[in-house]
Amino acid sequence: MDDFNNKTYVKRRKEISKLMESNSCFLINSANLKFRNNDSSYFFRQDSNFYYLSGFVEPDSLIMIENNGKSTLFCRERNLELEKWDGFMHGVDGAKKTFGFDECFDITEKENLIPEMIKGKTNLYCLIGKDKNFDASVSSWVNKANNLERHQANIDIKNFSNELGMMRLIKDEHELSLMRKSCEIAAKAHKKALMNIKKGMSEFDIESLYLNYFREGGSNFPSYTPIVAGGSNACILHYIENNKTIKESDLVLVDAGCEYNYYASDITRTFPISGKFSAEQKAIYEVVLEAHKKSTEAIVVGNSCMNPQKTSEEVISQGLKDLGFLKEPLEEILEKKLFREFYYHKIGHWIGLDVHDDSPYTYKDEEIKFKENMIMTIEPGIYINESAPVDSKWKGIGIRIEDDILATNKGPINLTNEVPSHSDEIEKLMA
């Protein structure tokens, strides 16, 4: 932690304190260590919201931020015996100093101290619904606090998810540099994989390449379980078995991104295992690529964040009509959402600390408008299932193209465009 600078995190805590009403505070808990079996734990990853406000990566911790800007950390006290097994712990004094808190207490004191600290407050803000045990603790602390201050109005528990989510929506300089790096590592991995994938490889073989390239690039792990789907497996949106052989005529859809210093990237490419698209595969690919291009262009500062969705529906519907898959007039296809037979997910999502970043799309009854330094994925797709009412030559084709797009005042910037998406460029790379 020698080079850790708490400035960014202290600033964020001050910012969130300004969003509170007077005489109020915000409580947030860390992630908990989860056990796989007996004493073998899963790798500990801090909760993204907690990390965003602290940079502190230990479990069993809690932060209170008050509307006057004061912030208090509850964390584990140092334990030299435990540290022999699980590694360094900052402890109360160390954490207070390193992470820039005004006050810090031993987490074992929380049941005594929190009701005392919140008694008489007007509002207690928290992220309701994320952790049932924490929600129950909050209710119990509020009950205790209300009993301690019987003659005052009861404390209002309010959800602060939208407010924190709105803060996370606009990436600061620190976040932008990490997002660029995460995107760069993932894009390089996709590109290198395309250059090394050969006929005869299985989904498993291909996944191994990506995992290896992520690590080689400096990422510890993927930002979500990768999808490596040969042939019709690509039509299953959450396919993660990644264990089948791939037929020589099949496309492969790889949706894989990495996490770098807590920041996620998210890329999908679809390519023919043979290195050459068939006529049918290419025809559908071009529609998806056009939807990708037009939807990316719809990421315009000042426009609604729903514009790329609308654009993708229009381009894909026209494409499906041109291919003869849908016969109805375009207006009817859009109105009745008939394209959903083939395009059954949304165009994208916010991305940052989480691959599906914890930020709203509508706030105070209004669609959010793009502002500089928001990042959204653009990931149109067309999937032709066995049940689709089309000629059998099309069946089993599933194509998605996904990139991570930064909104700027000068127009959208594709952070993952180092990996080609045009069909001829992909063929060239695979040759």
Task: Measure the CA angle with vertex 193, ends 276 and 218; round to 5°.
Answer: 160
CB of 208 to Mn ion, least distance (A): 19
Here's the x/- map for ligand GLY, 120-159, by CB under 6 A: it reads as ----------------------------------------
Q: Tell which positions 101-130 bind Mn ion, by CB under 5 A.
A: none
**Catalytic residue list contains 66:** no
Among 255, 259, 358, 403, binds Mn ion (CB under 5 A): 255
Task: Output the smallest distance, CB 214 to ligand GLY, in A.
Answer: 14
Amino acid at 37: N
Q: Does the active-site annotation cover 248? A: no
Q: What are phi and psi of 201, to 5 degrees?
A: -75, 150
CA quadruple 338, 343, 345, 351: dihedral positive or negative?
A: negative
Between 53 and 229, whose beta carbon lies closer to Mn ion?
Answer: 229
Q: Cβ closer to ligand GLY: 115 or 165?
A: 165
Q: Which of 377, 416, 421, 423 binds Mn ion (CB under 5 A)?
A: 377
| CA separation for the pair 137, 159 (Å, rounded) | 15
Instruction: Check 3, 151, 238, 331 and give the catalytic one.
Output: 238
x/- contact string, 345-384, with ligand GLY (CB under 6 A)? ----x-----x-----------------------x-----
Which is catalytic among the residues 45, 174, 215, 345?
345
| CB nearer ligand GLY, residue 127 or residue 355 | 355
**Of all helices (H) and strands (E), which one includes residue 163?**
helix 161-169
The one-letter amino acid at 380: P
**Does the protein bind ligand GLY through residue 224 (CB under 6 A)?**
yes
Instruction: Report how far residue 151's alpha carbon sits from residue 258's, in angstroms, rounded to the nearest whole number.
Output: 53
Chain centroid to CA 303: 22
Q: Where do runs of H (alpha helix) occur along 20-160?
A: 48-54, 80-86, 91-99, 110-118, 132-148
Residue 354 found at the interface with Mn ion (CB under 5 A): no
Contacts for 383 with CB less than 8 Å, ≥ 6 apart? 234, 235, 237, 342, 343, 344, 397, 398, 399
> Half-sphere exposure of residue 309, counting CA atoms within 13 Å on the CB side?
14
Q: How far is the CB of 355 from Mn ion (least distance, A)?
A: 6
Q: Does 259 bind Mn ion (CB under 5 A)?
A: no
What one-character DSSP code corresponds to residue 234?
G
Q: What secondary structure does DSSP assign to 82-118, as a single string?
A: HHHHH----HHHHHHHHHT-SEEEEGGGHHHHHHHHH
Q: Is 93 a catalytic residue?
A: no
224 binds, among Mn ion, ligand GLY, none (CB under 5 to 8 A by kind): ligand GLY
Annotated active-site residue 400? The verdict is: yes
Chain positions 388 to 407 lying near Mn ion, rule: CB under 5 A, are 402
Based on the residue annotation, tell me whether 292 is a catalytic residue of this protein. no
State in angstroms the smallest separation of the CB of 213 from ligand GLY. 17
Residue nearest to ligand GLY (CB): 255
- The tokens describing 350, both together, are 């916010």
Q: Which of 239, 400, 403, 427 is catalytic?
A: 400
CB of 1 to ligand GLY, least distance (A): 31
131 is catalytic: no
Query: Which one from 125, 269, 349, 403 is the annotated catalytic residue?
Result: 349
* Residues 100 and 83 sit within 8 Å (Cβ to Cβ): no
Say whether 241 is catalytic. no
- β-partners of residue 400 are 381
The dihedral through the CA atoms of 63, 223, 214, 83 has a sign that is positive
Each residue of 119-138: b (16+ CB within 10 Å) or e?
bebbbbbbbeeebeebbebb
Q: Is 47 a catalytic residue?
A: no
The full DSSP string for 305-364 is: TTHHHHHHHHHHHHHHHHTTS--S-HHHHHHTTGGGGT--S-S--B-SSSSS-S--SEET
Query: Among this protein's residues, is 39 annotated catalytic?
Result: yes
Give the torsion sign (CA, 186, 189, 194, 200): negative
Minimum CB–partner distance for residue 281 and ligand GLY (Å): 21
Interface pattern 227-266 for ligand GLY (x via CB under 6 A): ----------------------------x----------x
| Distance of closest approach, residue 348 Cβ to Mn ion, in angstroms | 6
Q: Annotated catalytic, 135?
A: no
190 is catalytic: no
Nearer to Mn ion, 255 or 354 (CB): 255
SS (H, E, C) 391-429: CHHHCCCEEECEEEEECCCCCCEECCCCCCCCHHHHHHH
Q: Does residue 266 touch Mn ion according to CB under 5 A?
A: yes
Q: Which is nearer to ligand GLY, 58 or 259 (CB)?
A: 259
What amino acid positions are annotated as catalytic residues?
39, 238, 255, 266, 345, 349, 356, 379, 383, 400, 402
Interface residues with ligand GLY (CB under 6 A)?
Answer: 224, 255, 266, 349, 355, 379, 402
